Amino acid sequence: MGQKITIKIAEQEYVMNAPTPRDEEDIRLAASIINKKINGFIAKYPGRNMVDILSFVALNESISSISLQRKCNDIKDEAEELQRNIENYINDIKK
């Protein structure tokens, strides 16, 4: 069932359901990271409205996500190539 938790992002409170303690930890960590990025952009771009700041945070997080996705795909491709090399090596030994 989970537990209802309250997080605060940009001075707004949100009630969320955390199905497991791990999920609660992840949600709280995500909120903390978002708030730090918000504060960083507020300091970097004083006078900008919150919509602009949140747009910068969303763009920054999306770029990070895309970068990590690409790195994961590269690692997966390398692992598959290593697997093929190992299988070829073992097949050569058996001959």
Digit-coded pLDDT (tens) for 82-94 = 999 999 999 998 8
Digit-coded pLDDT (tens) for 20-72 = 999 999 999 999 999 999 999 999 999 999 999 999 999 999 999 999 999 99
Spell 24-48 as b/e; 16+ CB within 10 A means b.
beebeeebeebbebbeebbeeeeee
Residues in the chain: 95
The CA distances from residue 10 to 31, 53, 91, in Å, are 9, 10, 59
Task: Confirm if 38 and 57 have CB atoms less than 8 A apart.
Answer: yes
Neighbours of 64 (CB within 10 A): 10
